[in-house]
Chain A
Amino acid sequence: MDQPILALKGIHKSFPGVKALDNACLNVYPGKVMALLGENGAGKSTLMKVLTGIYALDQGEVRYQDRKVNFAGPRESQEAGIGIIHQELNLIPELTIAENIFLGREITNAFGGIKWSVMFDAADALLQRLNVKHKSSQLLGDLSLGEQQMVEIAKALSFKSNVIIMDEPTDALTDTETASLFKVINELRDAGYGIVYISHRLKEIFEICDDITVLRDGKFITERKVAEIDEDTLIELMVGRRLDEQYPRIDSSHGTTCLEVKNLSAADVHNVSFTLNHGEILGVSGLMGAGRTELMKVIYGALKRDSGELLLEGTPIHPRNPQQGLANGIAYISEDRKGDGLILGLSVKENMSLCALKQFSKGIQLDHHAETMVVEDFIGLFNIKTPSKDQIIGNLSGGNQQKVAIAKGLMTRPKVLILDEPTRGVDVGAKKEIYQLINQFKAEGMSIILVSSEMPEVLGMSDRIIVMHQGRISGEFNHADADQEKLMACAVGKISNEVTA
């Protein structure tokens, strides 16, 4: 194998009470894409923070271009040629593309005045290289998320980087944006850059990466060539045990109709009708921006309904806000945990019981004892890994946060549980646990709507599937009749399947 351009050897890093990295290693080769894999909490982000000098390492060595280095902070590592593109973009929407790229190192004349034309030209050249069809004088906020990601890459390139690290770059991208990102990655690889690609999406790993490094519990597990490995082995390496079946489907005994949506229209939802039975999982598929979240929020009462009917067990309901949605027995678990799903500064307990506090009150007084009992029950039942119920939820991993979010919805004892992207940003082990929980609710007769962008998830879990495209339902399938191609065709609006199952 070639000489690595960047090598992290035997890295150890401890935090009070936790050993975050325990002999972690990573090699980055020029002209290759290295996948860095591991469950949430495996130490990927910590390793990147050690590399860029945000954390000081306890033990180990970082070698870059054959020299031992010790970066004091992100700025130093960036200037040395290691660019990181974080999961959450660090760009300022109110500034132009060029200003964002050269933020903090504007090209100036002797008096400190910015040489705008020089800066715009330099930025334009970078954008052209990445096939971004925008002028660098445009405001960043006008760009789509995928294009903003390209600007981050342009920024990394402007530092004359040799190594580019991408942390979950496709998490918020549409399929087309992902495709063009991959094109750019391929070009960068051909140009001899060393690339680290961190992602949960195994499909992408096989599509774009050359080598794989797996971390587990902060330990280096293996470095392999992608060509020598298959998906099952990879999952096994990541979680350290075999996952027999990824989607543990159970057969449902089809019950009576629970929720009926008739000709529902709202801002981004047009004339949508569907039914949901008791003890059924209804999958909702579609591309980002297809109006799935909007539809669910209208049903929940969080968004305004323009016309149409909602019948819950035959009775018309009119939720005008989330309170009324919950009161009617509809619970909605948001796709955006950080944005409007959880309150990250509050504890596990306070988050979990937030919707259901009325149950834990005697008059105006909170019944802390009853609340604690139920919360502890859910922590045990859901196998939520937290030091205590009073832990600040922002300190938990994505999978455990998601379990708390689901528990929060369940505490209201809903008739209809709407899960919007319940496994986004959740590692494979926790994913399976969440699937098993969902199945358990289903077996108990709960009606579940599962909104997901991951087609295998929708196909694997649902009894029936509806597909949305531009605010309309473009297809409805029984799970036995559906496959990825059919769903995709409906999702992009190529065909409309109006056959009711």
Chain B
Amino acid sequence: MNNKVIETQHKSKLFNKEWLIEQKSLIALILLITVVAFMNEYFFTVNNLLNILRQTSVIAIIAAGMTLVILTAGIDLSVGSILALCGAFAASMISLEIPIFIAVPISLLGGALLGCATGGIIAKGKVQAFIATLVTMTLLRGVTMVYTDGRPISAGYTDVADNFAWFGTGYVFGIPVPVWIMIAVFAAIWYLLNHTRFGRYVYALGGNESATLLSGINVDRVKIGVYAICGLLSALAGIIITSRLSSAQPTAGMGYELDAIAAVVVGGTSLAGGKGRIMGTLIGALIIGVLNNALNLMDVSSYFQMIVKALVILLAVLVDNKHK
């Protein structure tokens, strides 16, 4: 009986049915791009494709952190608020002409610490992730509003501000800096998940928390770790947005948590935890990005766009469930 199983597995590793099911989000993305390319001639131009990548980068970076959190069977609703607060913090440092090699790391560290605190509430305080991050989401948005007095903070017009603008508007080898950052983030998280103990523990924790605990793994540390990384990446996204606009908006990042969660889910990661891949999230974010772009190109109203986006996410999740 076992020999038969082995035979069928060895027969063809590529292009069999399982492989196709595994890659369904990638296939969906390619299909989407093909269809849109035929419908609109402007779509498949280098300019537009780079545009899509740049627009997608912010949500994708947040979604990378969100993937870690969701893999542990958690959720982080506070990403948008961390983005806004850290962005505002960075903007005021830049406006004070604090050099970027100090301002940026401090903002990132701030995001990581905020994530740490959230993770601490969840791990040590035994609060459900949804509730804990709902609290921090509201709290940090409030702090941002108080800090900015509800008004945008300009980065100013100094040399420091010009340098800072590179993060959002610069190009390296003809590709926008945010895209490079996105690629680096996904490479790092991929490495973390597949080639470190921490990554293995993330999957284990999401698969069965009590078994992970009994296997002698410091579960609290893993939990705090994923929220810290998620916070750090939210701050990174905040820096990119602030840099691009040369100012920090107090309402920046509102609703981004849902876009990020959608990207993760469309990418095939299970909200129950323990199952999913980081590259799926990148594809999920791109699917949503391409869709937004295509609807814009076709002059579909932004109100109608929401409906289409919702239906596509629903479709993705339904297809995913079917193959479980």
Contact = CB atoms under 8 A, between A and B. Distances in A.
Asked whether A and B interact, the reply is yes
Interface of A: 16-19, 41, 217, 302, 321-323, 325-327, 332, 334, 339-346, 350, 354-355, 357-358, 361, 364-366, 368, 385-388, 408, 412
B216 A326 contact: yes
B1 A217 contact: yes
Given A346-B204, A364-B196, A387 B215 contact: no
A15 to B, nearest CB: 10
Interface string B1-21: 110111111000000000000
17 contacts: A17-B5, A18-B5, A321-B218, A323-B217, A332-B214, A342-B208, A343-B203, A343-B211, A343-B212, A344-B208, A345-B275, A346-B204, A355-B215, A355-B216, A355-B217, A386-B2, A388-B6
B200 interface: yes
Nearest to B9: A387
Contacts of B35: none
A387 B214 contact: no
Contact of A366 (B9, B200, B215): B200
Contacts of B208: 340, 342-345
B197 interface: yes
Given A343-B274, A345-B275, A355-B215, 18 more contacts: A18-B5, A217-B1, A321-B218, A323-B216, A339-B210, A339-B211, A340-B208, A343-B204, A343-B212, A344-B207, A344-B208, A350-B200, A354-B212, A357-B197, A364-B197, A386-B2, A387-B2, A387-B6
B195 A365 contact: yes
Contact of A16 (B6, B8, B212, B217): B8
Contacts of B214: 302, 322, 332, 334, 340-341
B315 interface: no
A366 B1 CA distance: 33
B213 interface: yes
Interface in B148-205: 195-198, 200-201, 203-204
Contacts of B1: 18-19, 41, 217
A17 B196 contact: no
A318 to B, nearest CB: 15
Contact of A346 (B9, B207, B218): B207
Contacts of B198: 364
A302 B214 CA distance: 7
B211 A340 contact: yes
A79 to B, nearest CB: 28
Contacts of B215: 322, 354-355, 408
B262 to A, nearest CB: 23
Is the contact region of chain B dominated by helix, strand, or loop, or is it mixed? helix
Given A322-B213, A343-B212, A350 B195 contact: no
Nearest to B208: A343
A364 B215 CA distance: 19
A84 B103 CA distance: 66
B204 A361 contact: no
Nearest to A353: B200
B203 A346 contact: yes
A411 to B, nearest CB: 11
Given A18-B1, A346-B203, A354-B204, A366 B216 contact: no
Nearest to A346: B207
A87 B213 CA distance: 26
B195 A322 contact: no
A354 B210 contact: no
B218 A323 contact: yes
Contacts of A334: 211, 214
Given A322-B213, A334-B214, A340-B211, A366 B203 contact: no
A456 B212 CA distance: 32
A323 B4 CA distance: 40
Nearest to B272: A345
A361 B211 CA distance: 21
Interface string B228-272: 000000000000000000000000000000000000000000000
Contacts of B201: 357
Shortest Cβ-Cβ A-B pairs, 7 listed: A343-B207, A340-B210, A322-B216, A326-B216, A17-B8, A387-B5, A343-B208
Contacts of B213: 302, 322, 340
A346 B6 contact: no
Contacts of A342: 208, 211
Given A341-B211, A341-B214, A350 B5 contact: no
